[in-house]
Structure 1
Amino acid sequence: MPEVNCYDFMASFTGPNCCLNYSSVDIFLKYELQPTSVRTLVHFSQTFRRGVIAKYDYESSMANMAAYGESSPPEYHMSNIPHDLPLLLSYGGGDMLSDVKDVQLLLNDLSNHDADKLVAQLVKEYAHMDFVMAVNAKQLVYDGLIAFFNKHS
């Protein structure tokens, strides 16, 4: 049986990560993989297919009614996030799970947010896993994140 290249495996659903090394991937795969429920994956799929951020759809009017008091799952309206809540959105140009178009849609929904409380940082070369394991994530992401927290604490 041929060996699986974990870089290629991850990149097939996260995007082309730029800044990983084998030792960080090995540690991640050994300790950090967490299982998720099928329901969570179905919910992600519903959001992706419908293009709407809403609560889980039980695919039954009766079940939705029992859960939510209405026949369809209610939508989450990002514009309802308090305008003075500090938000930092850091996203990657190569991220296939949280792509640039989706982040732009979110930023449109947040257009009335207090300008001094919303920071959007695009790291063009990053894909999804780079934010967790890139060798340069401390400098490109986490130093700015800590500064943001310190400013808004």
Structure 2
Amino acid sequence: MASFTGPNCCLNYSTVDMYLKYELQPTSVRTLVHFYRVTIRSGVITKYDHGSSMANMVAYGQSSPPEYHMPNIPHHLPLLLSYGGGDRLSDVKDVQLLLKDLRNHDADKLVAQLVKEYAHLDFVMGVNAKQVVYDGLIAFFGKHS
């Protein structure tokens, strides 16, 4: 799993088997293809590319899938982005591009937290995730509720 998500620093290994047994749901090939096209091939976040101009025309009324315009996220909407330095699914470069798109967001409504030693699964199963991530997340929700 780490070869796909990144090298985890802080996994609670006593819970990994239970988590993998009950929590991970299979994903579709379509989702994986979309992930590849968006992040690896184009670097642009779009709706699903149906693979042909004709199929996209049927789905969207245009030959290519429409882009998601991240700057259109309402500026007053509270956003907390917590990401890991070793995460291969939401890597630092991608999050920095997103933050660039959100540069006009209300400063008091946007928090970006880089946890350098974390990879993807550390956020869910890290032995210190409560202190490193979740306590701040709960405080953020409390401030903006």
The structure number with the bigger radius of gyration is 1
Q: TM-score, normalised by structure 2?
A: 0.97
| Counterpart position of 1:108 | 100
Provide the rounded CA distance (Å) in 1 between the counterparts of 2:57 and 2:21.
42
Measure how far apart 1:21 and its partner are: 2.8
| Counterpart position of 1:82 | 74
Q: TM-score, normalised by structure 1?
A: 0.92
Secondary structure at the counterpart of residue 32 of structure 2: helix
| Equivalent AA in structure 2 for residue 149 of structure 1 | F
Secondary structure at the counterpart of residue 107 of structure 1: helix
In the TM superposition, 1:60-71 aligns within 5 A as 60-71=52-63
| Counterpart position of 1:134 | 126
In the TM superposition, 1:2-81 aligns within 5 A as 10-48=1-39, 49-81=41-73
Count the aligned residue pairs. Answer: 144
Measure how far apart 1:37 and its partner are: 1.0
Structure 1 unaligned spans of 5+: 1-9
| Equivalent AA in structure 2 for residue 13 of structure 1 | F
Provide the rounded CA distance (Å) in 2 between the counterparts of 1:131 and 1:45.
22
| Equivalent AA in structure 2 for residue 11 of structure 1 | A
Secondary structure at the counterpart of residue 122 of structure 1: strand
Identity, in percent, stands at 85
**Please, what is the CA RMSD of the aligned residues?**
0.8
Measure how far apart 1:89 and its partner are: 0.2
Larger deviation: 21-30 or 48-57?
21-30
Secondary structure at the counterpart of residue 89 of structure 1: strand
